[in-house]
Every structure is written in C-alpha cells, then in structure tokens.
Structure 1
Amino acid sequence: MSVKIPSDVDREDRLVAGLTARQLGILAATGLLLYGLWQAIGDLVPTPVFLGVAGPLMTAVVIAVVFRRDGISLDRWLLAAARHVGSPRRRVHAPEGIPAAPAWATGHASTGRARDAHATQAASPLELPVTGMTDAGVIDLGHDGLAAVAACSTVNFALRTPAEQDALVAAFGRYLHSLSAPAQLLIRVQRIDLTDQIVSLRRRAAALPHPALERAALGHADFLSGLSREADLLQRQVLLVVREPAGSALPIPPPGLLGALRARRRAPIDHQRRQAAEARLSRRLAEAASLLSAAGITVTPLTVGQATAVLAHASDPDGVAAPVGALAAPDDVITTAASRDDPPGDAAPSHDADPSEDTSGEPLLEQFRERYAR
C-alpha cells in the first residue's frame, strides 16, 4: 500500500475557504470590531461615511492576511519589518556592560556636536545563542544543550538507475527512522575567493620541472582570474547538525518575563550532564556515518576551527568564506611579532604574524576609530 506524503509538512491546516484558523481569527476579530464600532456610532455618523472608512480598513486587513511575500503572510512580514526598523543597528558582545562612547566617536569634544546619526546611535548588547565551544568542536548552546556539526558529501541522484535510487532512498529512510533526538540538514551556499589559489599557482609555476607545465600552470591561473572577474563564484556545503539537551537547575530569575528568559538561556550546564551529552553527540554522529555510508554519503565531524568558520559565516552570510586553516580556535592564544622597542626579554614568540607588517598600535587605532564612527 502506497501513502502520499505532502511535500510541505509544515503547512497550516485550511479550515474554511482555504483559510487557516489564524487567518479566520484575524478576519473575525476585525469584523466584530467594525460591527461594534458601527453599533456605537452608527446614529452619529452617516452610513456612507462609515463605509468609506471601514471598507478600506477591512480590505487592507484581508490583503495583509491572505496575500503572502517571501513565503509568509503580509501581516507577519509587516510585523517583522516594524521590529527590524525599531531594533538597534549596533550590537556588541559586552557581558560586563556597554561603556559610554568616547567623545571622538559621538562628536567634537569642544562643541559637543554629533558627526552624524550613525555615530550617535546607541549600542545594544548582542545575545548570541552560542556560549562556547569545546576542543572537540562541540558547540555549547547554554540551557538549550549542546550541538555538533558534521560535513556530508553529496550523491548524484539523477544519474542513478531506478533500482539504485530506491536503494538510496531506503538507506536514507533507515537513518531517519533511527533518529531519537533533534537533527537538522543544512545546505549552505557561500561566495568563495580564489586569490590564494591564484597566487600560489603563479608562485610555484617557476619551480615546475618542464616549461610546458609552467605554461599550463600560468594559463590555469589566468583562467581562474578571469573566472573570478566575470562570475560570482559559489560553493555549496551540506551540514548535519545534531543537538542534545543538557539543562541543569535554573537560578532564581530576575523579575519580569524578559529577565526569566535571559536567565533560562544563560543557565550553566552541569559538568556531568555536559559529558553525557557530548558522548551522546559523538555516538549519534558515528551512527549517522555508519547508516549514511550505505547511501554513499560520507559524514565527517567538523573540527573546532571548521565549526568556528561555520558560525562566523552564519553571522555574515554575504561575506566571502575565509580559509578554515587561518582561523584560530576560540580559546587559542594569539600572539604577534615583538616590536623593535620592546626589550629582548619581553619578546613574545610568534608563529602567525607577518614580520613585514607594521605592528605599531597607531594604524590599528585609526582603523578602530573609522569602524566605530561608521
């Protein structure tokens, strides 16, 4: 027996005339409000005048409820737009509190006149769902538990025979049936920069053993350069995200609903619960790798540097993907080359800094001032 499964499983149920319970509730509430208003002022206002006001209002509500934009109804879209306009544009991660902006950023120290509207806009605290990351690449989500991310290879489904396609679907179905905790398949598309590859090709071309190989390497570098100029290069990545709850007893929350929600989000995780959740995440990724291997899919858990790169790109989805190897882990100590004015005994070892770069603090201060002013 075959059963049809709808493709959009999250679609709301339609009750009357293709409308959901939420849409019917909004329309009914608007109609009752206008009817009550008519009963209250019907003797004072002529009927054509009332209809001239109530008709456009009811039409606007129907349009906002029925029509959709970007996959959501217009009323929700307008509400999200209003929240976006009213929310602050500058957010900083400052658990200790946000200090007052310096005089050079808010305006002239002598006159007190502001430079522009963007410079005087107050900063607000940035509350991220991620509170930390372990050495194994496990992401700490506070009271929401822990999460682990793994990269998945892809399979060309269209080129397979019908029998092979059935086998792939069956293998993927076995993995879905094995799930007992939250999991997510995330497909990310990001822009890439081939500058490092092009520079490496040109630098190593002269060391090739034959002139023909050198010409081929330089020709390929020219091809990549032209491709980068003519097109917006993208890369696709499929990620498997598994999550495990690992909450502990909550402290007494501050007064108010918002304070309670913040305390719940920032509640610490017990060490034993954390270790148990990490063990379950590791076991679930191993089970996923075993079950999905039958479908030709390779599941590779991300390292701490790779997971950090994924989170960094999620914060700036329009930016260019940074090379994973150049990112430091969240708890790594980053050092720079010692300045020539420092005494020899205080020089710190450096393995990441470029000796040719200027390590004085003045250029960095100027860059910080420009960014803060913008």
Structure 2
Amino acid sequence: MKYEAEPPPLLARIPADIDKPDKIAYGLTFRQILIVALTGGIAAAVYYLCHQMLPVVILAAILLPFLALGIAVALGRRDGLSLDRFVLAAVSFARTSKRLVAAPDGVAGPPRWCRLRGKLPGPLRLPVRAVRSDGALELTDGGVAVLVEASTLSFHLRTTSEQAALVGAFGRWLNSLEAPVQLLARARPADLSDLTEVLEHQADELPHAALAAAARDHAGYLAELNSSRELLTRQVLVVLRDHPATSRGRRSVRRDASAAVVLRRAAEAERALAALGVTARVLNAQEAAQALTECLDSGGRHPLGRALPNEPISATAQHHTIGRDA
C-alpha cells in the first residue's frame, strides 16, 4: 500500500509587536532620529555660544552627560516601552489622582471658606454605562459591546492538514469581520465548592452504597484540593463592539439598533467559530456583570451562584446599571 506524504506545515511568521514603528536609517526609527538630532543640536548650540567663555573641560562635563541622557532616552526601553514614553506615562500617572469616586458630573470644589489639605478625589469614569437584559453592554461613548465566551482547542495535537484547515477557517472569520474585535484570554480563580456541594447532595440519592461512598470520597478530594491549592481556569472572551451611531434621533432608539447589530454579529461569530470546533456563546446579563466585576476586582472572590438539581431558577433583576443613566 502506498501512503501519500502529508503536505509541509504552513508557516506564517508574525512579529510579536505588530505596531512596531518602521526604521528609517541606521536601524533607528523616526522618533529616535528626532531625539538624537535635537540632543545633538542643543549640545552644538550650547558649545557654539559658550566655547569662548568656558573652558573645554567644563563644557565637556556639562554636555557629555546631556548627550548620554539623550542617547539613553532614544535607544533605551523599559517594560516594553521606549524611555521617553515611559517617562511621559510616569509623569501622567504621578499627576493623576489616585482616589477616584463615582461622580459622572465631576467633583465639586470646596467653598471659599474651607481650606483643603491635599487634592480632591478624581471622578471615576467607567467605560461601561449599563448592562442590558439581553447581555449587551451600553458604553459611555454611545456604543454597544457584547461579550462572547469561547472554548479552546488543542492545535498542536492536530495533523498538518487539520491545522491548515483550522488556520483557513479562522482566517475566513477574521476577514469577514466588519468592526474591530478584541480577543481576551484571562486566568480566573476556580472554585469547586459548588461542585462539591452537588456531589454531596446527589450521593444520598445514588442507588448503591458503593456509588454513594465513591461520590463522597470524590467530594472530599475536591474539597481538599479546593482548600489546599490556588486553582485557576482560563477564560477566553471575544468582545464585539458597534461604533457609536452618528445619526440623529433618540439615544435609546440608536442604542437598541446598535445592540441588535452587535448581537447579530455575535451570532455570526458563534456559527463561524463552531466550524473550528470552538464552542461559543453570548454571555447573558448576569454573566456579563460577573465578568466586569471580576475585571474590576481581579484579586477578590466573586462566586456566581449556581442552582442545585431540582431547584427552581428565577431572575429578579432584568437591568443592571453601572454609573448614571444618560
């Protein structure tokens, strides 16, 4: 029997930083050349104006550290940023208020007779205004976003042809997108207490004593695992967004239309990802609010309540509002 060899794997090299600026000359970007040129120009101007009044040794002691600082700012990097952007970010962070309060209209200043020590807190401006009952997120800039939770798959365990098919299907989905899409992969704490409670609850209803004992042993193992280790699970979220509408009309009508559009795109994304073997679903209002809460307080524990078997499920809140309605 004659076997056909598999085609070679498809390789596409993508740089780690796709927003990396182009290099203009001598391996330097335009920003780096500008910083070096300004540093050299300032040093040359200082030398031209002061070389007849000051000795060369003093000028060298002044200009050489200045030139070294300019070259370090142009060529150095810190935490993935160039030093000039890192310094600007540090200055902006230092000037930004560290105490934020929920004040959409701004923080009012104290009266004239009140002497204030320190600085007033700054307004907390969240990007999400409200969570609709259909799971869509109303943004403060007028747009609407939807969170789609997607499962993962083992890419390296597939054959070469299967990998090529997956890459092609994923590429077709990316090419079909009409608006920017954000893929967010985050680690979240896993809590096995609900599963342990379900096992203990169902152990008494099992038909055989050996099965009940095995269920209790497994529940005890899960309880010990949950208390002795910090368990993490991976969650992949696909964020689809509709840009703010610029047409005139009632704001609520525009938001309803944007929500319908982005929910339709979410349904199309579910069908497209299903061709890859990825299970995707739109998060409802409670799950979307849970995801936002975990993002705001990633270190805290925010369990999502789960109903036990044969327990009624009811929803009392149909609209979760964050901030102030516009």
TM more than 0.5: yes
Distance of aligned partners of 1:25 and 1:232 in 2 relative to their CA distance in 1, 3 Å threshold = farther
Pick aligned residue for 1:157 from 133, 143, 155: 155
Counterparts in 2 of 1:47 and 1:164: CA distance versus 1, 3 Å: same
Asked if the contact 1:153–1:299 (Cα under 8 Å) also holds between the matched residues in 2, the reply is yes
Matches within 5 A, 1:218-367: 218-248=216-246, 270-323=251-304, 331=319
Question: Out of 158, 167, 170, which is 2:168 matched to?
Answer: 170
Aligned mates of 2:119, 2:227 — CA distance in 1: 37
Distance 2:37 2:219 in 1: 65
Instruction: Please tell me whether the aligned partners of residues 133 and 330 of structure 1 are also in contact (alpha carbons under 8 angstroms).
Output: no
Structure 1 pair 194–51 and aligned structure 2 pair: CA distance change class (3 A): farther
Does residue 1:29 correspond to 2:38, yes or no?
yes
What is the distance in 2 between the residues matched to 1:225 and 1:59? 59
1: CA distance between counterparts of 2:318 and 2:53? 69
Q: Note if contact 2:199-2:216 (Cα within 8 Å) is conserved in structure 1.
A: yes
Could you tell me how far apart the structure 1 residues matched to 2:320 and 2:76 are? 51
Aligned length: 299
Say if 1:216 and 1:271 are closer, same or farther in 2 by CA, change over 3 A. same
Corresponding residue of 1:133: 131
Question: Which of these residues, 179, 182, 206, is aligned with residue 180 of structure 2?
Answer: 182
- Higher alpha-carbon deviation: 10-19 or 55-64: 55-64
Instruction: Give per-residue Cα distances to partners, 1:186-219, cap 9 Å, x unaligned.
Output: 1111223334444554566556554433443343
In structure 2, the residue matched to 1:47 is: 56
Contact 1:133 1:304 in 2 (8 A): yes
Report the equivalent of 2:312: none
- TM-score between the two structures when normalised by the length of structure 2: 0.79
Instruction: State the Cα distance separating 1:330 from its structure 2 match.
Output: 7.7
Could you tell me how far 1:16 is from its partner in structure 2?
A: 2.0
Task: Name the CA distance, whole Å, in 1 between partners of 2:45 and 2:184.
Answer: 49
Write the letter of the residue equivalent to 2:187: V
- Deviation for aligned residue 1:237: 0.9
> 2 CA distance for matches of 1:249 and 1:322?
41
User: Which residue pairs with 2:74 in the alignment?
Assistant: 65
Correspondence for 2:113:
none
1:331–1:180 CA distance, 2 compared to 1 (3 A): closer
CA deviation vs aligned residue, 1:319-343 (integer Å, no higher than 9, x gap) = 335326699858369xxxxxxxxxx
Q: Distance in 1 between matches of 2:75 and 2:175?
A: 37
C-alpha displacement at 1:318, in angstroms?
3.0
- Opposite residue 92 of structure 2, the aligned amino acid is R
Name the CA distance, whole Å, in 2 between partners of 1:202 and 1:99.
55
Q: Could you tell me whether the CA contact under 8 Å between 1:248 and 1:270 is conserved in 2? A: no
Contact 1:151–1:301 (8 Å) recurs in 2: yes
The answer for the alignment partner of 1:7 in structure 2 is 15
What TM-score do the two structures reach when normalised by structure 1?
A: 0.69
Q: Secondary structure at the match of 2:244?
A: coil
Secondary structure in structure 1 of the residue aligned to 2:32: helix
Two-structure CA RMSD over aligned residues (Å): 3.3
Which structure 2 segments of 5+ residues have no match? Answer: 1-9, 111-116, 308-314, 322-326
Q: Is the 8 A contact 1:67 1:73 kept in 2?
A: yes
Higher helix share: 1
Bigger relative contact order (CA 8 A; separation at least 6): 2
In the superposition, relative to structure 1, how do residues 34 and 63 fare at CA in structure 2: closer, same or farther (>3 Å)? same
